Amino acid sequence: MSATTIRGLNEAEAGRLRDEAKSRGVSVNTLLKQLVREGLGLARTSRGRRHTDLDALAGTWSPGEAKAFGRATEPFERIEAELWR
């Protein structure tokens, strides 16, 4: 088996690799092998694309839709005092 060195990663990139490896419960080396296999089409990804934010939804509602959503979720903002005794 050959060894490969990745040079030139900045601290942010290295940190993201460590974070992703930790979230998947694998070593950074195992994560890199998985990413290479997936990127080269040598392995199927069993999971869909992971999103960590809602940027794709930002600004997609009309003002009327946003207002309707606010009205519909308003009851969730109320605190029932008897439940907090």
pTM of the complete model beyond 0.75: no
| Residue 22 lies inside a defined structural domain of this protein | yes
| Residue 74 lies inside a defined structural domain of this protein | yes
pLDDT at 41 over 90: no
d(CA 9, CA 15) in angstroms, rounded, equals 10
Domain that holds residue 63: 11-46+54-84
| Residue 3 lies inside a defined structural domain of this protein | no
| Residue 6 lies inside a defined structural domain of this protein | no
d(CA 60, CA 67) in angstroms, rounded, equals 13
pLDDT in tens, 52-76: 677 777 778 888 998 999 999 999 9
> Encoding tokens for residue 57?
């939804």
Q: How many domains does the chain have?
A: 1
The identity of residue 12, as a single letter, is A
| Residue 78 lies inside a defined structural domain of this protein | yes
- Alpha carbon separation from 3 to 6, 30, 33, 64 (Å, rounded): 10, 13, 11, 58
